[in-house]
Structure 1
Amino acid sequence: MPPVSAAAPLLCLVCRNRLGFSDGTARTLLCPAGHSFDAAKQGYFNFLVGKGTVFEADTADMVAARFDFLSAGHYRPLAGAVAELAAPVLSGGTAQNPGTVLDAGTGTGHYLRALLDRMAVDRTPTSAVGLDISKFALRRAARLNPEAVNLVCDVWQPLPVADGAADVVTVVFAPRNAGEFARVLRPGGRLIVVTPRPGHLGEIAGRAGMLGIDPAKDERLAASLEGHFSALSADNLDLPLLLAPDDVARLALMGPAGHHLDRGALASLAAALPPLTSVSARFRISVFEPRR
Structure 2
Amino acid sequence: MHARIPAGTADTAPMVEARSAFLASGAYAPLANAVAAAAGTPSGLVVDAGAGPGYYLSRVLDAAPSAVGLALDVSAIALRRAARAHARLGAAVWNLWEPWPVADGVADVVLDVFSPRNAAEFHRVLKPGGLLVVAAPLPGHLAELGDLVLAVDERKEQRLETTLGAYFTRESVTEVVHTSPFTTRQVHDVVAMGPAGFHLDRDGRRERLRWTPARNVTLAVAVGVWRRND
TM-score calculated relative to the size of structure 1: 0.75
Matches within 5 A, 1:174-189: 174-189=115-130
Counterpart among 166, 170, 173 of residue 231 in structure 1:
170
Structure 1 counterpart of 2:144: 203
Matches within 5 A, 1:1-292: 46-48=1-3, 52-54=4-6, 56-88=9-41, 90=42, 93=43, 99-119=44-64, 124-206=65-147, 208=148, 210-262=149-201, 265-266=204-205, 268-274=207-213, 276-292=214-230
**Gap regions ≥5 residues in structure 2:** none
**1:50-80: CA deviation from partner (whole Å, max 9, x where unpaired):** xx12261111101110000001110011111
Letter in 1 for 2:16: V
Query: What is the CA distance between 1:118 and its match in structure 2?
Result: 1.4
Letter in 1 for 2:177: D
Letter in 2 for 1:171: D
Letter in 1 for 2:178: L
Query: What is the CA distance between 1:245 and its match in structure 2?
Result: 1.2
Query: What is the CA distance between 1:263 and its match in structure 2?
Result: 8.5
Letter in 2 for 1:72: S
CA distance in 1, matches of 2:103, 2:198: 33
CA distance in 2, matches of 1:168, 1:104: 11
Query: What is the CA distance between 1:47 and its match in structure 2?
Result: 1.6
Q: Which runs of 4+ in 1 moved over 4 A?
A: 263-267
User: RCO (CA 8 Å, sep 6+): is it higher in 1 or 2?
Assistant: 2
Query: What is the CA distance between 1:162 and its match in structure 2?
Result: 1.0
Letter in 1 for 2:216: S
Count of residues in Structure 1 that have an aligned counterpart in Structure 2: 229
**1:168-226: CA deviation from partner (whole Å, max 9, x where unpaired):** 000000011101110111111100000000111111132x2x11011110000110112
**Gap regions ≥5 residues in structure 1:** 1-45, 94-98
Letter in 2 for 1:109: G
Question: Once superposed, what is the RMSD of the aligned Cα atoms?
Answer: 1.6
TM-score calculated relative to the size of structure 2: 0.94
CA distance in 1, matches of 2:38, 2:210: 39
Matched residue of 2:102: which SS? coil
* CA 1:265–1:145: 2 relative to 1, 3 Å: farther
Provide the identity percentage. 41
Letter in 2 for 1:111: Y
CA distance in 1, matches of 2:154, 2:165: 19
Letter in 2 for 1:47: H
Structure 2 counterpart of 1:35: none
Aligned residues of 1:246 and 1:270 also touching (Cα < 8 A): no
Query: What is the CA distance between 1:147 and its match in structure 2?
Result: 2.2
Matched residue of 1:183: which SS? helix
Aligned residues of 2:55 and 2:85 also touching (Cα < 8 A): yes
Letter in 2 for 1:201: L
Query: What is the CA distance between 1:157 and its match in structure 2?
Result: 0.7
Query: What is the CA distance between 1:278 and its match in structure 2?
Result: 0.6
CA distance in 1, matches of 2:33, 2:91: 21
Larger Cα-atom Rg: 1
Matched residue of 1:188: which SS? strand
Matched residue of 1:150: which SS? strand
